[in-house]
Amino acid sequence: MSSGWRIVGSAVVGLSLVLAGAATWQRARAALPVTSAPPPSFTQLGANVASRGAEGVAPCASCHGAAGEGNAAAGFPRLAGQPVGYLSKQLMAYTDGRRANPVMTPIAAKLNPQQREAVATHYSALAAPAKSPQAGGAAAAPAPASGGSAANTLRGKTLATVGDDSRSVQACANCHGPDGIGQLPTYPSLAGQHASYLVNALAAWQDGSRRTDPSGQMPTIAKSLNADDIQAVAAYYAALPAIGVPVDERAAKQSAGSAQRRTRAIVSGPTATAPSKGVGTEQGSPVTGGSQGIGGTPQNTHPGAAASAPR
């Protein structure tokens, strides 16, 4: 008899555990969103926002293209292949007012944090266009007010690779890398970007509608450039081939490009000479154009390396 009671007792205990487990499962199920299918994966979520949009938000592709190539005539930037850290930070900046744009501000505000991170990841994983959008991008920007095309080309290259010491402007390459390759995780690639967008971006730094550089470096540089300078450097970068390597190879390509850059002379005129130095600031620390940052000495030896911040 005692053995029988033990069996019954065990059955009661087992049934209690089953019921308790069922109650726990029901509570957990009630906490889940009501849906007939499991939520999409993070990767699929980013692709959906890009191609289909979200509640109250048009698809990103309607402006930035099906492959993230952008639109030169409208001044919409290429997103494909840009660092995910840069893209996600810019979306956040549109929501908190550090970037002002009548189109992007309401879009970013309606996306939740997961959607913003997912769509940034989606575009970062896309290969950049294999060919430069030079023709469309350059044509969309107004022609320089003065000077011939050869002089403008040289001026754009000089600003990008050397800087201008007379205006205390450091080389763009110091942060954006040799040949505009960009710098992971948060400095965007400028190579192959539409000139129309680059012109607008520098104008936004000038007028204060973009405030995403905590060091104040980019507003200072933009305000030191005149209209012709802006057109010239935008056209220079638009003419470069866009990076077309997968996201997991960009860091290695960037590292190899940095090493090559450090070992070659910069040509800023008819003959190769040591670069002139445009004094500026990198994240609040003094640097000199052509000899600091990713375009010069190794990142871990220059004063701004430890304070690299997104823009």
Assign 125 to helix, strand or coil. helix
Could you please report the per-residue DSSP string of 94-113?
HHHTSB--TTHHHHHHHS-H
In the structure encoding, which two tokens stand for residue 111, read together?
């996306």
pLDDT of residue 300: 33
Which pTM was predicted?
0.67
In the structure encoding, which two tokens stand for residue 194, read together?
């539409």
pLDDT of residue 176: 93
Q: Which amino acid is at 22?
A: A
Q: How far is CA 210 from CA 4, 54, 105, 202, 203, in A?
A: 79, 25, 12, 9, 9
Return the CATH number of the domain spanning residue range 134-306.
Answer: 1.10.760.10
Task: Give the tens place of pLDDT for each residue, 113-159.
Answer: 999 999 999 999 998 876 544 444 443 344 444 445 788 999 999 99
pLDDT of residue 3: 52
The residue-averaged pLDDT of 281-285 equals 37
Q: Residue 61 and residue 51: Cα distance in Å, rounded?
A: 6
pLDDT of residue 139: 36
Looking up tokens 């007939």 gives: 36
- Residue 74 pLDDT exceeds 50: yes
Q: Is the dihedral of CA 72, 77, 83, 84 positive or negative?
A: negative
Q: Residue 233 and residue 218: Cα distance in Å, rounded?
A: 14
CATH architecture observed for domain 42-125: Orthogonal Bundle (1.10)
Per-domain residue ranges for the chain?
42-125, 134-306
- For the chain, the 3-state helix, strand and coil shares in percent, each to the nearest 5, are 55, 5, 40
In the structure encoding, which two tokens stand for residue 18, read together?
């089953």
| Of 172, 47, 74, 65, the residue nearest 128 (C-alpha) | 65
Q: Residue 137: which residues within 8 A CB-CB, separation 6 or more?
A: 72, 193, 194, 195, 196, 197, 198, 234, 238
Q: Is the peptide bond before 39 cis (omega within 30 degrees of 0)?
A: no
What letter would DSSP give residue 79?
-
In the structure encoding, which two tokens stand for residue 174, read together?
């110091």
Per-residue confidence band for 60, with pLDDT thresholds at 50, 70 and 90: very high
pLDDT of residue 150: 85
Per-residue confidence band for 259, with pLDDT thresholds at 50, 70 and 90: very low
For the ranges 18-22, 70-74, 198-202, 235-239, the lowest mean pLDDT is seen at: 18-22
Do 42-125 and 134-306 have matching folds?
yes
pLDDT of residue 161: 97
- Residue 70 pLDDT exceeds 60: yes
Is residue 248 within 8 Å of residue 237, measured between CB atoms?
no
Q: Which amino acid is at 39?
A: P
30/307: higher pLDDT: 30
- Residue 36 pLDDT exceeds 70: no
